[in-house]
Structure 1
Amino acid sequence: IFPNEGDTHIFTVVAGTIGYLDPEYNKLSRLKEKSDVFSFGVVLLEIITGQPAITKTEEKIHIIQQVSSMMLEREVKDIVDPRLNGEFDIYYATKALDIAMACVAKTSINRPTMAHVVMELKQCLENKITHLSDSNYTSESLTDTLNSVSFDRISGESSLAR
């Protein structure tokens, strides 16, 4: 199994896409459990804003820098993907942005666990569905929607989860 008899470790080269790789990896040359949380936060920011992780301009601005400065200067409605044409609940958009920004904290110690992220997102979804059930949606269609979303594989309930 090992290249040389007596070897007890195999070292691999980490391959990561620029923009998604935990910045602590550059300093420590080691990935941590919360490195995945960082990458997930970048993906969440991409979903919320409709923007790529790194701008395709000459400056190559990271989405974290972009969103951070936008949060200081603009309202959440101006940060969310414009293709939604304002058709979203500002409360849940703000909550999703807060979760994403917590995931991309510079140091892993300041990031939530993936289980916590899943809990927060699931709670948002459940609250939104409850809110919708108070309107003209049928409870059956809302229940079907909630049941179709499964976070079990990443929430710590699976042996594959970290």
Structure 2
Amino acid sequence: MVHRDIKTTNILLNEHLQAKLADFGLSRSFPIEGETHVSTVVAGTIGYLDPEYYRTNWLTEKSDVYSFGIVILEIITNKPVIDQNREKRHIAEWVGQMLTKGDIKSITDPSLHGDYDSSSVWKAVELAMSCLNPSSINRPTMTQVVSELNECLASENLRGGQSQEMDSQSSIEVSMTFEPEANPAAR
């Protein structure tokens, strides 16, 4: 199944900070096992749309990977996807420009006040940027994304840091589970 509208407002957190994906109204499923894409009219939210899907009308599982890469950048930067006041209006272009300067502090949310493991943030930013590869075939799978995010989280948890209130929840792990009864039918 491809969600087609992964964005921060469609990711909900429960009382245990476990993320749940919401709003499956645009989702599509692949009817035949082994299909790599579905031709469909482009749908989704500007800024999160996979440019390859937009150009070709071919929806793949990697279309959601692109959108999730944007979400990762939003979380790291605490910046909107599109900002008319930035020189580079789209978050991916802005982060790309900041990466060339080599300073992770210019990318991360300033309200963190440097309280993070810079190597895990670098890894998360690089992961997000790999999700945004213009060619879907060169993007990681969602399983690879989850695995790498867990590595970043483990590195951050080992660091300790000043934010001790999160330490009580250090067992939080990025997971990807699919409960058949919980998955809505695609429209």
TM bucket normalised to smaller: 0.7 to 0.9
Q: Which has the larger radius of gyration?
A: 1
User: In the TM superposition, what are the counterparts of 1:105-120 in structure 2 within 5 Å?
Assistant: 105-120=133-148
TM-score (norm 2): 0.65
TM-score (norm 1): 0.74
> Is the partner of 1:101 in helix, strand or coil?
helix
Equivalent in 153, 157, 179 of residue 129 of structure 1:
157
Counterpart CA distance in 2 for 1:123 and 1:58 is: 31
Tell me if structure 1 keeps the 8 A contact 2:124–2:149. Answer: yes
> Is the partner of 2:58 in helix, strand or coil?
coil
The Cα shift of 1:126 comes to 2.1
How many equivalent pairs are there? Answer: 141
Counterpart CA distance in 2 for 1:146 and 1:97 is: 21
Please tell me the residue identity of whatever aligns with 1:152: M
Q: Which runs of 5 or more residues in structure 2 are unaligned?
A: 1-38
Structure with more of its chain in helix, by fraction: 1
Tell me if structure 1 keeps the 8 A contact 2:40–2:59. Answer: no
Give the percent of matched residue pairs that are identical in Structure 1 and Structure 2.
Answer: 45
Q: Which runs of 5 or more residues in structure 1 are unaligned?
A: 1-10
> Is the partner of 1:147 in helix, strand or coil?
coil
Counterpart CA distance in 2 for 1:69 and 1:59 is: 10
The Cα shift of 1:25 comes to 1.3
User: In the TM superposition, what are the counterparts of 1:12-161 in structure 2 within 5 Å?
Assistant: 13-57=41-85, 61-132=89-160, 145-153=169-177
The Cα shift of 1:59 comes to 6.6
Quote the RMSD (CA, aligned, Å).
2.7
Counterpart CA distance in 2 for 1:61 and 1:71 is: 15
The Cα shift of 1:58 comes to 8.4
The Cα shift of 1:128 comes to 2.8
| CA displacement 1:22-58 (0-9 Å, x = unmatched) | 0011221121110000000001001111111111338
Structure with more of its chain in strand, by fraction: 2
